[in-house]
């Protein structure tokens, strides 16, 4: 069955995307929800988690999350359990051009880094009026964050997992 036919058959009349970012990472995950606004119900959710070692691509995140939501709808079951175990190691990232005016924001970023990886190595390299920092980020960090909200990458008829999704199906938000 074609995707358009499946969406029509399942009374999906709204497709929404949102993503989650932190100070440390551009994007942690992208989510697609397939909505039936009559019921109102989230019929399916797809989650695409961005690896720490990858370069973020908005289109790739949307494509993967949409595909996963459609698969949950088609199969009428959950798939792809999100499991942060077994993903040990760190990825080194360079944070460039911290201006003196960005010091407060950067301190929040460092606080986030130490919360997730207390043994993090941070190297500051001066470069003119700006500083460059080299930091280590655990490879399972995005997975751990996603796992706080979601249990599956493809989820059929999930309950809202956060305020964004709760607002999507609340009365008035769908009109």
Per-residue pLDDT tens over the stretch 94-103? 766 666 666 6
Per-residue pLDDT at 61 exceeds 70? yes
pTM, entire model: 0.83
Please tell me the predicted confidence (pLDDT) of residue 6: 94
Sheet arrangement for strand 79-81: 14-20, 29-36, 41-49, 152-156, 79-81
With cut-offs at 50, 70 and 90, classify the pLDDT of residue 169: confident
Mean pLDDT over the full length of the chain: 84
Sheet arrangement for strand 130-138: 90-98, 130-138, 122-127
Please tell me the predicted confidence (pLDDT) of residue 54: 78
With cut-offs at 50, 70 and 90, classify the pLDDT of residue 24: confident
């Amino acid at each position: 069955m074609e995707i358009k036919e499946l969406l029509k058959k399942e009374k999906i009349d709204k497709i929404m995307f949102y993503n989650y970012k932190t100070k440390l990472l551009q994007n942690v995950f992208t989510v697609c929800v397939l909505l039936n606004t009559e019921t109102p119900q989230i019929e399916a959710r797809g989650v695409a988690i961005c690896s720490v070692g990858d370069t973020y691509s908005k289109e790739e995140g949307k494509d993967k999350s949409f595909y996963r939501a459609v698969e949950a709808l088609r199969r009428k079951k959950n798939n792809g359990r999100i499991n942060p175990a077994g993903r040990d190691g760190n990825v080194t990232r360079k944070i460039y051009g911290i201006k003196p005016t960005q010091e407060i924001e950067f301190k929040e970023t460092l606080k986030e880094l130490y919360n997730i990886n207390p043994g993090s190595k941070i190297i500051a390299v001066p470069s003119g009026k700006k500083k460059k920092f080299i930091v280590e980020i655990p490879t399972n960090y995005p997975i751990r964050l996603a796992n706080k909200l979601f249990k599956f990458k493809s989820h059929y008829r999930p309950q809202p997992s956060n305020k964004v999704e709760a607002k999507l199906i609340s009365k008035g938000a769908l009109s």
